[in-house]
A and B are shown apart, each in its own frame.
Chain A
Amino acid sequence: MQRLTTKQTSSAAVALILLIAFPLLTENSTAHHVMILFFMFAMMGVAWNIMGGYAGMFSFGQVAFFGIGAYTSSFLLITYQVNPWIGMIAGGLVAALVAAAIGYPCSNLRGHYFAIATIAFGEIVRTHFNNWKLVGGAEGLSLPMLDGGFRDFMFHSSKLPYYYIILAFLLIAIIVCYTISTTKMGYYFRAIKEGHDVARVLGINVAWYRLVAIMVSAFLTAMAGTFYAQYVLYIDPESVMLLSVSIQLVLICMLGGAGSVMGPVIGAAILIPLSEVTRIWLGHKGTGIDMLIYGFLITLISVYQPKGVWGLISAIGKGKG
């Protein structure tokens, strides 16, 4: 992927200014909430992409890292009163280590076998946390209501600080992904994606780069987990380690366009508001119509735009010059 042109950079700057201004233009807390979710999932999508879209390892178990991040920082906060920001770094490191530990033996698994292995991993982690009394087991962990403020990573009267923090996280993830993709590492990742044998012939240490991709991806995803815990103030295995979240991530990346930095962001921009709005509008009837529409739209998009929406946009972009 080539470096950004000035036109792209300025358009990106405009987008960023809009996003920063948005919460100041409306007091609608639901809108804030949906945007926060969008940023969070976009961030996780970008992290997933480092492993999946770029290095070709399609993970269906990302939620395990999300959960590990959430649990590590929350447990440290509740039991040892460790500051959540430090807890977040700790969570990221734990997730990265676990990722390395599981990634190494799985590194020579191909395509679908790898995907199933990630599901297996995610479910094993969830089952374990469900039974692990030390971290609350199935009852989960309730975070204490601290005073609030930046230092506590907790805000009570307004969602705005949460909004800006997760936006900042998203930007960090995008920068990491962009940096990787435009440097040597990015080329190595793409070579690995094309085929292990190709990569080996080129003298690339496949196992090492795979590990790096997995670890970076896990670290970022764990950061999102800590954010979630500090936002909702209650976590349990059913909410932070559920398989369906991993699948939602894959959907987001695919719909947006895997293999491009902004793809997952677009995917999240479409899917998250879609699922939230259909639930708000239609969920309360209990007829399942909201999910019917959701499923229908997903099917439609993947049939008619298999390269993802990003593919569509870049095609338009190319057309326009």
Chain B
Amino acid sequence: MPEQLLQQIVNGLLIGFMYALIAIGLTMIWGVMNIVNFAHGDFLMLGMFTSFWLYTLYGLDPLFSIPICTALLFVVGLLIYRFIVSKVMRGPMLAQLVVTFGVSIFIANLAVYLWTPDFRLISKPLLSGTWEIGSILLSIPKTVASIGSIVTSFFLFLFLKKTKTGKAILATEMDREAALLMGINTERINSLSFGMGAALVGIAGAFLSMYYYIYPQVGGLFSLIAFVVVALGGFGSIEGAFIAGILVGLVQTLGGFFFDPSYKYAIVFLIYLVTVWIRPQGLLGW
């Protein structure tokens, strides 16, 4: 029994790190621009499909397509911001919500149109199989993805705290008006953040494609969970999103194992509700 518990904790961490990686991009966009990016799950899907096509057409393993996914999604994010989202920045909050929602529907169905609704899987990735440490089984691709998530978050953290642009982003997040007064070009920060948010989830997509199936609507549940993770961690807080992601992974897995797997997502949602009842701004929000 205790080793089963340990195994499930490990499993929870492995999925939790993936949630964290998906969520940090979302919370960044949210924090900087106060925009709910409904298209986040579709960016994830684009990252996965990019990785898939690079594998199928050029034999490039998903591990090595990470830089390409990152760059591609960064550009996609930038373009979407510049040509669509920026136009509603001054509008009412609902308009901003709907714009990303429209983009989401468009991207998902563009994928259906171009690539059909069929399910794809990368059949022989470089990273596959299981590590056995004692009686604990660690899926290799998931473990590497978790390491990737930690490394990515770490570098993002460094970027935000140590570089000039990074600090500008943080400043804009904290107080938009003050940032403007300080001479920060908030429009440029917006596009940069949107692009980075997309790039981050593009990395997640590349990792996820190593072990999860790929199809146009794959982003759905992942993005729903990402929203809960971001809110749980506190909007705009990167550390919060990271910790919340891991927490959600653990709650989902342990809740499913000890209570009832059919309720596992409901338990996650319940934890969210209880948390914000106690602390309305999320774990680390301000």
Q: Do chains A and B touch in the complex (CB under 8 A)?
A: yes
Q: Is A124 a contact of B269 with CB atoms below 8 Å?
A: yes
Between A115, A131, A302, the greatest number of chain B beta carbons within 10 A of the residue's beta carbon is seen for: A302
Q: Are B227 and A116 in contact (CB under 8 A)?
A: yes
A302-B99 in contact given A108-B280, A124-B270 (Cβ < 8 Å): yes
Selecting from A154-162, A163-171, A211-219, A288-296, the interface stretch reads A288-296
- Tell which of A131, A251, A294 touches B262, judged by Cβ atoms closer than 8 Å: A131
A299 to B, closest residue via Cβ: B102
For B105, give its contact among A58, A289, A294 (CB under 8 Å). A294
Contact call B272/A117, Cβ cutoff below 8 A: yes
Across the interface, do A130 and B262 meet the contact criterion of CB distance under 8 Å? yes
Q: A288-B109, A296-B106, A303-B84 are in contact. Are A127 and B265 (CB under 8 A)?
A: yes
Q: Which of A178-223 contact B (CB under 8 A)?
A: none
Instruction: Give the chain B neighbours of A258 by CB distance below 8 A.
Output: 92, 94
B158 within 8 A of A: no
Contact call B231/A287, Cβ cutoff below 8 A: no
Kindly identify, within residues 107 to 131 of chain B, every residue whose CB is under 8 Å from any CB belonging to chain A: 107-110, 112-113, 117
A109 within 8 A of B: yes
Cross-chain contact B266 with A123 (CB below 8 angstroms): yes
| Contact between chains at B99 and A299 (CB < 8 Å) | yes
Contact yes or no, A291 B109, CB < 8 A: yes
Residue A20 interfacial (CB < 8 Å): no
Q: Do A116 and B262 have beta carbons less than 8 Å apart?
A: no
* Chain B residue contacts of A302, Cβ below 8 A: 88, 91, 95, 98-99, 102
**Given contact pairs A105-B277, A109-B280, A303-B87, A254 touches B98 in the complex (Cβ within 8 A):** yes
**Neighbouring A residues of B260 by C-beta, 8 Å:** 131
CA distance A131 to B265 in the complex (A): 13
B103 to chain A, nearest CB (A): 6
- Residues of A near B87 (CB, < 8 A) are 303-304
Closest to A307 in B: B92
Q: Complex: how many Å from CA A233 to CA B214?
A: 36
Does A106 sit at the interface, judged by CB under 8 A? yes
A284 within 8 A of B: no
Cα–Cα distance between A297 and B260 once the two chains are bound (Å): 42
| Main secondary structure on A side of the interface with B | helix
Asked if B97 is at the interface of the complex by the 8 Å CB criterion, the answer is: yes
Q: How far is the CB of A100 from chain B (nearest CB, A)?
A: 15
Q: With A and B bound together, what is the CA distance between A110 and B117 in angstroms?
A: 38
Residues of B within 8 A of A292 (CB): 105-106, 109-110, 113
Number of interface residues of B (CB under 8 A): 46
Cβ of A136 under 8 Å from chain B: no
Complex interface bits, A84-121 against B, C-beta within 8 A gives 1, otherwise 0: 00000000000000000000011011111101110111
Q: Is residue B235 contacting chain A, with contact meaning CB distance below 8 A?
A: yes
A111 CA to B282 CA in the complex, in Å?
13
Contact B91–A306 (Cβ < 8 Å): yes
Q: Contact check, B280 vs A254: say whether CB atoms are below 8 A apart.
A: no
Provide the residues of chain A in CB contact with B88, threshold 8 Å.
302-303, 306
Which chain A residues lie closer than 8 Å to B112 at the CB level? 287-288, 291
A55 within 8 A of B: no
How close is A255's CB to chain B, nearest CB, in angstroms? 7
- Residue B139 CB within 8 A of the other chain: no
A298 at interface (Cβ–Cβ under 8 A)? yes
Q: Which residues on B sit within 8 Å (CB–CB) of A296?
A: 102, 106
Q: Which of B103, B224, B282 contacts A113, CB < 8 Å? A: B282
B105 contacts A124, CB within 8 Å? no
Compute how far the CA of A297 lies from the CA of B94 in the bound complex, rounded to whole angstroms: 16
By a beta-carbon cutoff of 8 Å, the part of chain B in contact with chain A is 30, 36, 84, 87-88, 91-95, 97-99, 101-110, 112-113, 117, 216, 224, 227-228, 231, 235, 260, 262-263, 265-266, 269-270, 272-273, 276-277, 280-282
- The list of the 5 closest CB pairs from A to B, nearest first, reads A295-B105, A306-B91, A299-B102, A288-B112, A306-B95
Q: 20 more A-B contacts (CB under 8 A) besides A58-B94, A288-B108?
A: A112-B231, A119-B224, A123-B265, A124-B269, A124-B270, A127-B266, A128-B263, A253-B94, A254-B94, A286-B117, A288-B110, A289-B113, A291-B108, A291-B112, A292-B110, A298-B98, A299-B103, A302-B99, A303-B84, A307-B92
19 A-B pairs whose Cβ atoms sit less than 8 Å apart in the complex: A109-B276, A116-B228, A116-B272, A120-B273, A123-B266, A123-B269, A124-B266, A124-B269, A127-B266, A130-B262, A251-B101, A254-B98, A258-B94, A292-B110, A295-B105, A299-B102, A303-B99, A307-B91, A307-B92
